[in-house]
């Protein structure tokens, strides 16, 4: 996990109530919202703000569904489809408009600039890390021009970019500024909400919302209506303070992590690569950890795998074709042979190295319940079902952020077996430069309901109770496999492709399960030490 992924995870935990513990003694968020409604009513009565005709209350019904009631009309509608995740007891869902007194944006035209002016003309690109940044090329306007388009900004004001670059955030602190259209501003009823709202606006949840709500192709734009309708998972004020305090500490640590990550990557990239190759090679050849007789043999493990496959076939959970009668062994002449029901063949030329006596060479298909390329998707801008493509699989890890999305209505055309499961291996099977890259699918890194792969990625699903995905990953990441991956593929130089048959027939050195676990632990330990 890189620094950005780590921070995004922390931000998401924060707004889902997973970063700090809940305190039953905290005044619930419902009380806070009631206080805000009272304060807004007071401001309306004093004619300081206009009454919001769309003011609403979000609540959970007896049927466990979420409902939104428009106060002015009494209209009630179910909004279950909008609710992205569950929140803890004491929290409440609300719209941004419910906790603000005013929301707007800057001038949509071009003001009359004045190099000697007193006020800076700022847009969304001037917002950064809670600050309004005046750049050397920031233009100025006169006081007269400023007064024409003056906005009601105060210490409660939060600014966020909604045009072009989305999601830059700043707090207003009496800076002499005039706003352009890409800067949205909103005034919070309660100033104490600012820091938590800042965390929310940085979160993957908000970024996904803006990308979904944005219009335009070249230049993305989020409407003021979309901003007003933004759902807010609102914690009690006391918990907000704890979240902010924890985020302050963690943000410092994340920045340290990012800085160290960059330095180490630059300094140790080459040496790390060499050492990693060496570690992986020792691991898959049985030289990294000792063999322990009490852990059994791969022959015994393979018998268990065959027995379990037979059971799954009998129960109709696997096709009969999944059963293999292949046995690979070392003959008296010290050569390797593969025995099937029909013939015995010398495969000594395929064996890349010797393995311990307790290990076995097997075909990948023998130890898997599913090996299949994904299928060509119909893409959509609706961010519901991500499709994993080659760019999502990096040696640095699995990245859901790089995924596109399928048309939601087409999900029914995907069989259950095509839905990615935790710890599935995803192997890039086409393309020069991307061929052979592999990643392990992690459900925890996918904030969506599910995920599938496209036709350029082969899904490898081992019998995970017997064969560990991480061990297979180490093998396929090793120099033994990667150095000949193009030779194993079909097609022209620029159209190299690993066929499903080739993947299924790939030779794998198989240790006993407990030894696999020890290998994984030792590899991870050593890789951590050399970083």
Q: Is residue 464 part of a domain?
A: yes
pLDDT at 324: 74
In 3D space, the residue among 323, 326, 360 whose CA is nearest the CA of residue 341 turns out to be 326
Q: What tokens appear for 405 in the block?
A: 């999305």
d(CA 60, CA 65): 6
The pLDDT score that the predictor gives to residue 155 is 94
SS3 442: coil
Strand runs labelled E in 415-500: 425-428, 438-440, 452-453, 457-462
The answer to whether residue 329 is domain-embedded is yes
- 12-45 tens-digit pLDDT: 999 999 999 999 999 999 999 999 999 999 999 9
User: Does one domain contain both 417 and 518?
Assistant: yes
Q: Which two tokens stand for residue 406?
A: 């399928």
- Whichever domain contains 383, its CATH number is 3.90.220.20
Which helix (DSSP H) or strand (DSSP E) does residue 507 occupy?
strand 507-510
Helices (H) and strands (E) in the chain — how many of each?
13, 29
Q: Per-residue pLDDT for 165 more than 70?
A: yes
147, pLDDT greater than 90 = yes
**pLDDT at site 306:** 92
**CA nearest 208: which of 422, 442, 453, 8?**
8
- Return the minimum-mean-pLDDT range out of 120-129, 133-142, 202-211, 212-221: 212-221
Percent with pLDDT over 90 in the chain:
80
Report pLDDT for 204.
94
- Cβ-Cβ contacts under 8 Å for 483 (sequence gap 6 or more): none
Say if residues 368 and 462 touch (Cβ distance below 8 Å). Answer: yes
| Structural tokens at position 72 | 């002015």
pLDDT above 70 covers a percentage of the chain that reads 99
Residues 6+ apart with CB under 8 A from 409: none
Q: Please check whether residues 233 and 144 belong to one and the same domain.
A: yes
530 with 314: CB under 8 angstroms? no
**353 and 413 together in one domain:** yes
Please report, to the nearest 10 degrees, the dihedral formed by the alpha carbons of residues 279, 281, 283, 288 taken in order.
-60
For residue 268, tell me if it sits in a domain: no
The arithmetic mean of pLDDT across residues 479-495, rounded, is: 82
CB contact at 8 A, 414 and 428 = no
Residue 93 forms beta bridges with which residues?
233
How far is Cα 31 from Cα 234, in angstroms, rounded to an integer?
11
Residue 519: count of CB within 10 angstroms of its CB: 23
What does the pLDDT read at residue 493? 58
Together in a domain, 126 and 212: yes
| HEC per residue, 110-172 | CCCECCCCCEEEECHHHEECEEECCCCCCCEECHHHHHHCCCCCCCCEEEEECECCCCCEEEC
**Pick from 395, 146, 393, 138: which is nearest to 265 by CA?**
395
Query: Looking at the domain assignment, is residue 41 inside a domain?
Result: yes
- End-of-domain residue from the set 208, 237, 266: 237
Look up the domain containing 51 and give its range: 3-237
Residue (of 530, 516, 531, 525) closest to 283 by Cα position: 516
For residue range 382-404, what is the model confidence (pLDDT) as tens digits? 999 999 999 999 988 889 999 99
* Nearest CA among 255, 290, 233 for reference residue 90: 233
Output the furthest CA–CA distance in the chain (Å, rounded).
Answer: 98
Q: What is the structure's pLDDT at 322?
A: 77
Q: In 350-363, which positions are buried (b, 16+ CB within 10 angstroms) versus exposed (e)?
A: eebeebbebbbbbb
Q: Is the pLDDT reported for residue 492 higher than 70? A: no
Q: What pLDDT shows up at residue 269?
A: 65
Q: Residue 235 carries which DSSP code?
A: P
Q: Which pLDDT tens digit goes with each residue over 49-108? A: 999 889 999 999 999 999 999 998 999 999 999 999 999 999 999 999 999 999 999 999
Instruction: Mark whether 289 and 233 lie in a shared domain.
Output: no
294 shares its domain with 151: no
3-class state of residue 98 by DSSP: helix
pLDDT greater than 90 at residue 490 = no
Domain co-membership, 86 together with 155: yes
Query: Are 416 and 441 a contacting pair, CB within 8 Å?
Result: no
Question: What is the spatial distance between Cα 340 and Cα 347, in angstroms, rounded to a whole number?
Answer: 12
Evaluate whether residue 16 is within a structural domain: yes
CA distances from 346 to 310, 340, 349, 502, 504 (A): 27, 12, 8, 18, 19
**Considering 210, 237, 264, which residue would you say is the last residue of a domain?**
237
Non-local (6+) Cβ contacts of 108 within 8 A are: 181
Q: Which residues contact 319 (CB under 8 A, 6 or more apart)?
A: 313
Q: Are residues 362 and 289 located together in one domain of the fold?
A: yes
> Across all residues in the chain, what is the average pLDDT?
92
**What is the pLDDT, as a whole number, of residue 258?**
83
Domain co-membership, 417 together with 505 = yes
Considering the domain architecture, whether residues 216 and 360 belong to the same structural domain is answered as: no
Q: Which of 430, 435, 432, 434 is nearest to 494 (CA)?
A: 432
pLDDT band at 130 (very low <50, low <70, confident <90, very high): very high
- Residue 129 clears pLDDT 80, i.e. is over it: yes
Per residue in 496-517, pLDDT tens?
A: 889 999 999 999 999 999 999 9
Burial class (CB in 10 A: 0-12, 13-18, 19+), 263: exposed
Q: What is the pLDDT of residue 102?
A: 94
Q: Is 425 in contact with 437 (CB distance < 8 Å)?
A: no
CA dist 489 and 487 (Å) reads 5
- Is the domain of 220 the same as that of 294? no
Q: Is the pLDDT of residue 494 over 70?
A: no
Count of domains forming the chain: 2
pLDDT confidence tier of residue 267, bands split at 50, 70 and 90: low
Last residue of a domain, one of 176, 207, 237: 237
User: Element (H or E) spanning 515, and its range?
Assistant: helix 513-530
* Dist CA 177 CA 160 (whole Å): 15
> Same domain for 412 and 520?
yes
Q: What is the pLDDT of residues 314-356, one digit of tens each?
A: 998 888 877 877 899 999 999 999 998 888 999 999 999 999 9
pLDDT at 268: 61
Q: What is the CA radius of gyration of the chain?
A: 29
Q: Are 468 and 520 in contact (CB under 8 A)?
A: yes
């Amino acid at each position: 996990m890189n620094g950005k992924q780590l921070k995004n995870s922390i931000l998401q935990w924060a707004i889902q109530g997973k970063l700090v513990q809940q305190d039953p003694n905290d005044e619930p968020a419902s009380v806070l919202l009631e206080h805000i409604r009272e304060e807004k009513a007071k401001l309306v009565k004093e004619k300081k703000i206009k009454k919001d005709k769309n003011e609403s209350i979000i609540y959970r019904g007896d049927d466990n569904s979420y409902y939104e009631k428009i106060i002015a009309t009494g209209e009630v509608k179910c909004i279950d489809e909008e609710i992205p995740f569950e929140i803890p007891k004491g929290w409440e869902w609300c719209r941004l408009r419910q906790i603000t007194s005013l929301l707007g944006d800057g001038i949509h035209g071009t003001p009359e600039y004045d190099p000697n002016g007193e006020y800076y003309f700022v847009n969304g690109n001037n917002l950064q890390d809670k600050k309004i940044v005046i750049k050397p090329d920031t233009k100025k306007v006169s006081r007269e021009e400023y007064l024409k388009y003056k906005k009601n900004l105060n210490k409660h004001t939060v600014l966020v970019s909604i045009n072009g670059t989305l999601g830059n955030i700043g707090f207003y602190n009496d800076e002499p500024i005039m706003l352009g259209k890409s800067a949205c501003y909103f005034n919070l009823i309660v100033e104490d909400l600012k820091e938590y709202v800042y965390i929310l606006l940085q979160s993957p949840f908000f970024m996904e919302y803006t990308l979904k709500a944005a219009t335009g192709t070249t230049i993305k734009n989020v409407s003021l209506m979309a901003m007003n309708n933004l759902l807010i998972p609102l914690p009690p004020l006391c918990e907000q303070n704890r979240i902010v305090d924890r985020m302050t500490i963690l943000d410092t640590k994340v920045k340290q992590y990012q800085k160290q990550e960059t330095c180490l990557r630059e300094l140790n990239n080459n040496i790390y690569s060499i050492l990693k190759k060496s570690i992986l090679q020792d691991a898959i050849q049985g030289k990294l950890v000792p063999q322990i007789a009490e852990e059994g043999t791969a022959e015994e493990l393979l018998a268990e795998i065959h027995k379990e496959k037979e059971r799954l076939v009998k129960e109709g959970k696997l096709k009969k074709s999944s059963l293999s009668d292949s046995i690979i062994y070392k003959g008296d002449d010290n050569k390797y042979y593969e025995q099937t029901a029909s013939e015995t063949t010398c495969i000594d030329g395929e064996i890349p190295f010797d393995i311990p006596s307790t290990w076995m060479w097997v075909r990948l298909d023998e130890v898997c319940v599913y090996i299949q390329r994904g299928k060509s998707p119909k893409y959509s801008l609706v961010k519901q079902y991500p499709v994993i493509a080659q760019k999502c699989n990096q040696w640095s890890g699995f990245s859901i952020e790089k995924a596109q999305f399928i048309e939601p209505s087409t999900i029914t055309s995907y069989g259950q077996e095509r839905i990615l499961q935790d710890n599935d291996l995803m192997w890039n099977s086409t393309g020069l430069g991307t061929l052979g890259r592999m990643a392990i699918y992690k459900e925890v890194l996918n904030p969506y309901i599910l995920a599938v792969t496209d036709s350029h990625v082969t899904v490898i699903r081992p019998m995970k109770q017997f064969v560990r995905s991480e061990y297979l990953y180490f093998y396929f990441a090793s120099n033994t496999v990667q150095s000949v991956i193009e030779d194993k593929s079909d097609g022209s130089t620029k159209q190299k492709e690993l066929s499903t048959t080739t993947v299924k027939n790939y030779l794998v050195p198989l240790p006993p399960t407990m030894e696999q676990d020890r290998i994984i632990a030792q590899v991870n330990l050593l890789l951590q030490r050399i970083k």
